[in-house]
Amino acid sequence: MAEISPSSSVMPAADRDTQARRERRAAAILFGVAAHDIRTPLNAMVGWMQVLQSPQELPAATRERAFKGLRSAVAQQVAIADGLAQIGGIQADAPALDLDQVAVQELLAAGVAAVEEEARARSITVLLETPMSEIGLRSDAALVGAAIRHCLAGVVKFAAKNSVMNVAAGALSGPEPGCAIRVELEQSLLPAVALGAILDYVAGNFGPKPNGAGAAFAFSVAQSIALFLGGGLDVVAGEGETCAVFTLALPSSAGDA
């Protein structure tokens, strides 16, 4: 599920078997982390509804907090449904890609807007850098947008309160054309090496379940889409003990769908 390669048909039998087992494992992991992320906003909904159903007159500030909490929980549920729909789409008989020039900066701005409310609720500041020039990317805009949204949502999930996320887009390094989305998280709840272990785990690579993997649904979706498009998602340590730098690599596709 997590790794979809057009060259899999010419792989040696042993490699195809290993890839198939990794894909099945990644699919099982995806369902597990989705269940975790579904329960969390549902619990919040139940709690805030109980507050609103109180027979006593509620202060205006409390009512506003309750509705804000409900709106946040609904937004999380919508994001989960979006992620499952995207994964279902790329798993349905290898659908043709709708290739065109992608407006990367527009999709990046939309992705930032999608996570801003959740970020504000946790006092996380999201800063979007404006590139000096247009970034060329030929790909499927819907899938690229979904990968960006879920990548940013995953970073917010593992960001410490009062931290800063610096988001930028640039050309993909190396000989292949494409785009790299770079997210620098100044204060992470986990060190970069632990976050890297989570990315390996949700990709289906064999190994024990690392701490924090249960909350990695957004990363699982972003990584699956990126791999499907021929790219990937990784994380390295930045400057400072708590800094982590995520890179979502999205190469250009040359042919028509």
> What's the mean pLDDT when you consider all of the chain?
84
Contact 100, 141 (CB under 8 A): yes
Report residue 135 as tokens: 């970034």
pLDDT, one tens digit per residue, over 6-48 is 334 456 777 777 777 877 787 777 777 777 777 777 788 888 8
CATH (domain of 150):
3.30.565.10
**The pLDDT of residue 10:** 52
pLDDT, one tens digit per residue, over 50-90 is 888 888 888 888 888 888 888 877 877 777 777 777 777 77
Helix or strand run (H / E) with residue 122: none
Mean pLDDT of the region 175-202: 93
Query: How far, in Å, CA of 31 to CA of 118, rounded?
Result: 23
Structural domains in the chain (count): 1
Report residue 30 as tokens: 């995806």
Helix or strand run (H / E) with residue 171: strand 164-171
Domain that holds residue 71: 1-257
pLDDT, one tens digit per residue, over 212-241 is 888 899 999 999 899 889 899 999 999 888
C-alpha count within 13 angstroms, C-beta hemisphere, residue 227: 23
Residues forming beta bridges with residue 165, ordered by sequence position: 126, 185
